[in-house]
Amino acid sequence: MTMNLMAFVDNLYYMAVGMTGVFLVIGVIIAATCVLLRVGANEKA
């Protein structure tokens, strides 16, 4: 089995786009959690 290094290099772009999407989604989830915690902290149970 041989590995085509140029195919790997060409796919680095798609891997970078995918990882950027993952980090953006995680950031949105963290931001939403922080907002909900601040809004919910003002209400008394």
Per-residue pLDDT of the chain (45 residues; tens, 9 = 90+): 788 899 999 999 999 999 999 999 999 999 999 999 998 877 665
- Predicted pLDDT at 32: 96
The domain ranges of the chain are 1-45
DSSP H stretches of helix in 1-45? 5-41
Residue 45 is classified by DSSP as: -
- Predicted pLDDT at 27: 98
Q: Is this prediction's pTM over 0.85?
A: no
